[in-house]
Amino acid sequence: MKITVVGSGYVGLVTGVCLAEMGHRVIGLDIDEDKVQQMRNGISPIYEPGIEEWMVRNVEAGRLLFTTDKEKAYTESDIVMVAVGTPQRPDGSADLSFIESVVMDLASYVNHNIILVIKSTVPVGTNHYVKSLIDRHLHHDVTVQMASNPEFLREGTAIKDCLEGDRIVLGAENQEVHDVLRSMYRPFGIPIYATDIRSAELIKYASNAFLATKISFINEIAAICEKVEANVDDVAEGMGKDKRIGPSFLRAGIGYGGSCFPKDTTALVQIAGDYDYPFRLLESVIQVNTKQQNLLVEKALKYIGHLEGLEVALLGLSFKPNTDDMREAPSIAIAHQLVRYGANIRAYDPVAVDKAKGILPSSISYKNTWESAVEGADIVFILTEWDEIKQLPLKKLPSLMKSPNVFDGRNCFSLVEAEEGKVNYYSIGRPNVLSGVKEVVL
Ligand code: UGA
């Protein structure tokens, strides 16, 4: 099939590459000349393990091309998939201006019947709004049929998620559209869940909101664990053995970040509010997540006493491992709090430093290895569970650091490892381990 994918961010690029891999002929349209040139040269605009190899393979096979030429993109395909950003407005609602501008371009160029698929996360009712906008502005006598096809891929495992997802959700305006899109996705071999357009739009928000709810729920349980001296990792594992609950998204920590959960939870509260429905549960999920980002600094103040003039090493900056994405990363709130309390910060992240530099306080010094970040430090804060960080030998810390205080926001180590490493170890929802050889007097 001939498909155009508009937008080359996470969703657009990965979707386009995977559709090409399945044998379709895909045009990737983007308005950014530099980005398009880079992609033609095999350079990905996003950090995603494996993506460049897949891009190059499909470009060389003639199944994938990148362009800024709107006329070509809209006249040479039968299916147009929109995967442009829907950033958050100050009031929490989704900004649809990128989608609107795609629609206006498409309306002026498209010269044959097409199916328009919205992949971007959009408020319920957007497909119907887009349809009316297009119909009012079409320059030719053609039909544009709509479909909603929300995306469930995660950064860092995007290709795998796209090719091996649990389901593909298709909301379409009639059976003919369902049938065409079903055959487009047939080579993926993933179960397809077909529904109406509004339900498909809501499935996306409801799914992200539910996963965020699981995270805030386990973070609340972690707070109770600290009070009753239980271990949240064991509680989560015990809960997860019940198939009705499931083990995933029950890792306690310093909260969820990224470009999706914070934005989509706020937007769903806003959508409900637009229909005079106060979504109290989700409001609490968001509040818990904000509180969670303050937790490590609060613990440090409680157990160390102060942060003024102390050397603090941050290990991991991105919102999660295997991405350089700093959007809504807990490291942002934490770094600003540490600076306010007078700490001197050095930071290490395997890939996110370039992006972090434009976002975190300018006083931070960046190091090329975790060892150089922790050397001479009074406190280590673990903020992202990169494999490299999970594998660092704790027992090296007492000799490298001024005082071996580790505040782990991602529960990377077992309490036994902390004890054997002879560090003072404070994690989330688990007992503290005070086995550091040096006194905790700073
Ligand atoms: C999320 C969803 O998982 C995808 O299904 C969805 O397609 C995507 O948003 C989107 O809407 O585009 P992503 O933001 O890439 O994907 O990241 P996740 O792996 O879901 O993690 C989100 C945040 O939750 C991270 O900050 C992570 O550290 C945190 N998290 C995750 C926890 O704190 N605990 C957990 O148990 C799991």
Gap from CA of 257 to ligand 1 centroid (Å): 7
The three-state DSSP-derived secondary structure of the chain is CEEEEECCCHHHHHHHHHHHHCCCEEEEECCCHHHHHHHHCCCCCCCCCCHHHHHHHHHHCCCEEEECCHHHHHHCCCEEEECCCCCECCCCCECCHHHHHHHHHHHHHCCCCEEEEECCCCCCCHHHHHHHHHHHHCCCCCCEEEEECCCCCCCCCHHHHHHHCCCEEEEECCHHHHHHHHHHHHHHCCCEEEECHHHHHHHHHHHHHHHHHHHHHHHHHHHHHHHHCCCHHHHHHHHHCCCCCCCCCCCCCCCCCCCCHHHHHHHHHHHHHHCCCCCHHHHHHHHHHHHHCCHHHHHHHHHHCCCCCCEEEEECCCCCCCCCCCCCCHHHHHHHHHHHCCCEEEEECCCCHHHHHCCCCCCCEECCCHHHHHCCCCEEEECCCCHHHHCCCHHHHHHHCCCCEEEECCCCCCHHHHHHCCCEEECCCCCCEECCCCCCCC
Residue among 82, 158, 165 at smallest CA distance from 120: 82
Q: Domain 293-439 carries which CATH code?
A: 3.40.50.720
Please name the residue that has the structure tokens 């395997």.
350
Ligand 1 atom at minimum distance from 248 CA: 36
pLDDT of residue 94: 86
Pocket perturbation via mutation, ligand 1, pick of 118, 256, 386, 427 by most ligand atoms within 8 A of CB: 256
Ligand 1 atom at minimum distance from 254 CA: 33
Task: Give the Cβ contact number of residue 147 at 10 Å.
Answer: 23
- Integer Cα distance of 260 and 270 in angstroms: 15
Gap from CA of 437 to ligand 1 centroid (Å): 37
Q: What is the longest distance spanned by two Cα atoms in the chain?
A: 79
Ligand 1 binding pocket includes 150 (Cβ within 6 Å):
no
Choice among 18, 162, 260, 412 that is catalytic: 260
**For ligand 1, atom 28: residue with the closest CA:** 320
Ligand 1 binding pocket includes 66 (Cβ within 6 Å):
no
**For ligand 1, atom 13: residue with the closest CA:** 154
Annotation says 260 is catalytic? yes
- Integer Cα distance of 337 and 343 in angstroms: 9
Handedness of CA 215, 216, 220, 223 (dihedral sign): positive
pLDDT of residue 441: 47
CA 387 to centroid of chain Cα atoms? 18
What's the CATH fold of domain 2-195? Rossmann fold (3.40.50)
| Sheet strands side by side (includes 192-195) | 64-67, 25-29, 2-6, 79-82, 114-118, 144-148, 168-172, 192-195
Residue 383 · residue 254 · CB < 8 Å: yes
Residue 407 · residue 381 · CB < 8 Å: yes
Ligand 1 binding pocket includes 355 (Cβ within 6 Å):
no
Residue among 235, 198, 195 at smallest CA distance from 218: 235
Beta pairing partners, 309: none
Ligand 1 binding pocket includes 260 (Cβ within 6 Å):
yes
Segments making up each domain of the chain, as ranges: 2-195, 204-291, 293-439
pLDDT of residue 417: 96
Q: First-to-last CA distance in the chain?
A: 66
Gap from CA of 138 to ligand 1 centroid (Å): 38
Gap from CA of 289 to ligand 1 centroid (Å): 13
Vertex 154 angle, CA 148 and 156, to 5°? 145
Ligand 1 atom at minimum distance from 328 CA: 26
Task: Give the Cβ contact number of residue 241 at 10 Å.
Answer: 10
Fold match, 204-291 / 293-439:
no
Gap from CA of 274 to ligand 1 centroid (Å): 26
CA 439 to centroid of chain Cα atoms? 39
Residue 381 · residue 426 · CB < 8 Å: no
pLDDT of residue 438: 53
Ligand 1 binding pocket includes 208 (Cβ within 6 Å):
yes
Gap from CA of 155 to ligand 1 centroid (Å): 8
Gap from CA of 427 to ligand 1 centroid (Å): 21
Which CATH number is 204-291's, of 1.10.3720.10, 3.40.50.300, 3.30.1330.60, 1.10.1040.10?
Answer: 1.10.1040.10
**For ligand 1, atom 29: residue with the closest CA:** 256
- Integer Cα distance of 105 and 126 in angstroms: 17
Gap from CA of 203 to ligand 1 centroid (Å): 16
Residue among 136, 22, 2 at smallest CA distance from 72: 2
Ligand 1 atom at minimum distance from 255 CA: 33
Ligand 1 atom at minimum distance from 157 CA: 15
User: pLDDT tens digits for the chain (442 residues)?
Assistant: 999 999 999 999 999 999 999 999 999 999 999 999 999 999 999 989 899 999 999 999 999 999 999 999 999 999 999 999 999 889 888 899 999 999 999 999 999 999 999 999 999 999 999 999 999 999 999 999 999 999 999 999 999 999 999 999 999 989 999 999 999 999 999 999 999 999 999 999 999 999 999 999 999 999 999 999 999 999 999 999 999 999 999 999 999 999 999 999 999 999 999 999 999 999 999 999 999 999 999 999 999 999 999 999 999 999 999 999 999 999 999 999 999 999 999 999 999 999 999 999 999 999 999 999 999 999 999 999 999 999 999 999 999 999 999 999 999 999 999 999 999 999 999 999 998 755 544 4
- Integer Cα distance of 388 and 293 in angstroms: 22
Pocket perturbation via mutation, ligand 1, pick of 155, 203, 261, 386 by most ligand atoms within 8 A of CB: 261
**For ligand 1, atom 11: residue with the closest CA:** 260
Ligand 1 atom at minimum distance from 253 CA: 33
Provide the token pair at 87: 């950033």
- Integer Cα distance of 345 and 363 in angstroms: 7
pTM for the whole thing? 0.95
Interstrand relation of 192-195 and 311-315 (parallel, antiparallel or unpaired): unpaired
Residue 33 · residue 177 · CB < 8 Å: no
Residue 115 · residue 145 · CB < 8 Å: yes
Ligand 1 binding pocket includes 253 (Cβ within 6 Å):
yes
